[in-house]
Structure 1
Amino acid sequence: MSRIGDFQMRDDCGLDARKGWLASEEACSHGVARGAIRRLCYHAWFTILRRLGLSAAVFNCDLHCHSTCSDGLLAPSDVAARAAANGVELLALSDHDSLDGLAAARSAAEAAGMGFVNGVEISIEWQGLQIHILGYAFDSSHQALNAGLESIRAGRVDRAQRMSAELEKVGIAGAFDGAMRYAANPSLVSRAHFGRFLVESGAAKDLRSVFESYLVPGRPGYVDHRWATLADSLAWVQAAGGLVAVAHPGRYKLSRAEMRRFLSEFKDLGGQAIEVVSGSHTQEHVDIFARYAREYGFLASRGSDFHGPGESYFDLGQLAALPDGLKPVWEAF
């Protein structure tokens, strides 16, 4: 067994080992169940699917989820175990601005016989708007990537203190300490941790309603913050040998013209993929961003954005398949 970019692979599979491996139990035939040959290279798996006239989109990948290393509710190993139990065949843990959970998640994925690829969700700013991008299949030890992520994390505690001060102006006291109680990693305290405190304190009924009344532009608790630039974030991931996708594009309040400008800049900087199927996307979003993927030649990604039981639109691996005619991002791993 060896690694390239921290993506698990077999040296003895007889094909391009850099494509990784797929763990499964049944033997492969034309009546083949989806997991065909133990530790089968992904390249071979896609070849078999094409020869059988099946779409690679049936492969159950979940490439967007979070653990307690950022704003999730479950430990990295528990996220991986839950994904495997839900039938996920390839998982990427994509904590916000942190790689701390990757080793534990990878170990649990191996134990469960599930494929694993490194992931991270990076907070950036584009024309005054916070946007998230996803990095995949990178070397997690790369110095520039780690230094870049550290520069983002360094400002989160100050931001949290300013958010707490804004909430106190509308009569909500103790928000900083309350949010910190939920942050297993204090350097990654986030709006989700504040949201859990607001639910606990009775200011909102659930986490989704928090973001209708608080912590967003024009609402109490929101503060401006300088994140990484689009160019810098792509450069960090690319230097580490990874590829980059736009996370849940349907969540951003961009006009059609602004979305096109953003996607054009993203592509010009070397961006390769877009998250078409996301836990927060409606069917209309899926249709829209499938069209953008075709138009711009982007690879298509699929991820639940799972944060924990009871807080997520979808559980791990429970999303619909990618629309037909799109090239899945996992074919590039």
Structure 2
Amino acid sequence: MNSVIDLHCHTTASDGSLSPSALVERALERGIKTLAITDHDTLEGFRQARAVAAENDLTLIPGIELSCVWGGATIHIVGLNMDVDSPAMKEAEAVQLKARQERCVIIAERLSKKLNQDVSIEEVRQYAGSDIVGRPHFARYLVDKGWVPSMQVAFNKYLGAGKPGDVKTSWPELAQVVRWIVEAGGTAVMAHAHLYKMTRTKLRACMADFVEAGGTAMEVAYGQMDNNQRGQMATLAKDLELMGSCGSDFHGPNRFGLDLGVMPDFPKDIVPVWTQWQ
């Protein structure tokens, strides 16, 4: 279905392909009424988009998607409706930026060695709309340099899982990330829990720690999740008395038909997270 509420999407401030203003324009075209830009580890997308959103009567919720670790696995926590200028959020952005910068240096060094070419971090940075540089930016750089024929090949050969550019980042623990969001007055949302390769028992243990840290919501209607996955997430939310959130996780035009607002029906027996600010 096409929802008029989308609380998970990305811009060029992290790894999306549309600028913050272009994303707002697309949201308006698609009839979105409430939007949260949740770029990875930065609020820059929200900051750049809020003026154009206000001019067009689009309700733009402050958002961010923070990376963290739990039990050795990388987990993503979405923060919604927090004070973007709070000390907690400033600390979160600074810590995550430092981790990403350190990772960038290692990726560049590994790619330089593997390709026998001088991979310039400064040039790669130009592909990012902020200081948040990720593997998609390296992939675009490799394509433009003519070292690989496509983004897909860049990931298959050099940047995907287990490849030289797949560098593990020193992310903070899950509890720390949730604490930042809560201290900033926001709502911590477990992002796309159905995608983590965990047993049901391990996922419940992860969710229990998330709740103990102060998490109060999880995504129950997400992008192209199927009905079985939606049912599992809705059951988990009910069992843990969590609110539900929804989002497309749109990164830009793609061949899969995923666009802003595209997601399953929101489960009727879950309290929506947006009831807190409506």
TM-score tier, shorter chain, comes to 0.7 to 0.9
Give the aligned partner of residue 51 of structure 1: none
Give the aligned partner of residue 124 of structure 2: 179
- The Cα of 1:190 is off from its aligned counterpart by 0.9
Does structure 2 conserve the Cα–Cα contact (< 8 Å) formed by 1:136 and 1:242?
yes
Give the aligned partner of residue 41 of structure 2: 97
Secondary structure in 2 aligned to 1:101?
helix
**CA distance 1:216–1:281, change in 2 (3 Å):** farther
Give the aligned partner of residue 176 of structure 2: 232
What amino acid is aligned across from residue 134 of structure 2 in structure 1?
S
Tell me, in whole angstroms, the C-alpha distance in 2 between the residues paired with 1:129 and 1:250: 14
**Which is further off, 130-139 or 300-309?**
300-309
- The Cα of 1:294 is off from its aligned counterpart by 1.8
Give the aligned partner of residue 70 of structure 1: 14
Give the aligned partner of residue 84 of structure 2: 140
Does structure 2 conserve the Cα–Cα contact (< 8 Å) formed by 1:248 and 1:281?
no
- The Cα of 1:167 is off from its aligned counterpart by 3.1
Candidates 226, 247, 254, aligned match of 2:191: 247
**CA distance 1:175–1:252, change in 2 (3 Å):** farther
Candidates 253, 256, 266, aligned match of 1:322: 266
Candidates 114, 138, 143, aligned match of 1:194: 138
Residue-by-residue CA offset, 1:184-205 (whole Å, 9 max, x unaligned) = 22x2101221233355546474
Q: Does 1:120 align with 2:67?
A: no
- The Cα of 1:238 is off from its aligned counterpart by 0.7
**CA distance 1:106–1:212, change in 2 (3 Å):** same
Aligned pairs for 1:1-333 (under 5 A) are 60-171=4-115, 173-177=117-121, 179-185=124-130, 187-200=131-144, 201=146, 203=148, 205-207=150-152, 214-279=158-223, 281-310=225-254, 314-333=258-277
Residue-by-residue CA offset, 1:50-77 (whole Å, 9 max, x unaligned) = xxxxxxx996210011122222222212
What amino acid is aligned across from residue 68 of structure 1 in structure 2?
T
**Which is further off, 78-87 or 248-257?**
248-257
What amino acid is aligned across from residue 154 of structure 1 in structure 2?
K
Unaligned runs of 5+ in 2: none
Tell me, in whole angstroms, the C-alpha distance in 2 between the residues paired with 1:75 and 1:272: 30
Give the aligned partner of residue 49 of structure 1: none
Say how many residue pairs are matched: 275
What amino acid is aligned across from residue 105 of structure 1 in structure 2?
A
Tell me, in whole angstroms, the C-alpha distance in 1 between the residues paired with 2:194 and 2:75: 11
Q: Which has the higher contact order (CA 8 A, sep 6+)?
A: 2
- The Cα of 1:296 is off from its aligned counterpart by 1.4
- The Cα of 1:306 is off from its aligned counterpart by 1.5
Unaligned runs of 5+ in 1: 1-56
- The Cα of 1:133 is off from its aligned counterpart by 0.5
Residue-by-residue CA offset, 1:121-146 (whole Å, 9 max, x unaligned) = 11111122211100011111101221
**CA distance 1:181–1:130, change in 2 (3 Å):** same
**CA distance 1:198–1:127, change in 2 (3 Å):** farther
Tell me, in whole angstroms, the C-alpha distance in 2 between the residues paired with 1:58 and 1:73: 21
Residue-by-residue CA offset, 1:111-168 (whole Å, 9 max, x unaligned) = 2222121111111111222111000111111012211221110121221121133334
Secondary structure in 1 aligned to 2:115?
coil
Secondary structure in 2 aligned to 1:121?
strand
- The Cα of 1:103 is off from its aligned counterpart by 3.2
- The Cα of 1:297 is off from its aligned counterpart by 1.6
Superposition TM-score, scaled by structure 2 size: 0.88
Does structure 1 conserve the Cα–Cα contact (< 8 Å) formed by 2:224 and 2:262?
no
Does structure 1 conserve the Cα–Cα contact (< 8 Å) formed by 2:220 and 2:234?
yes
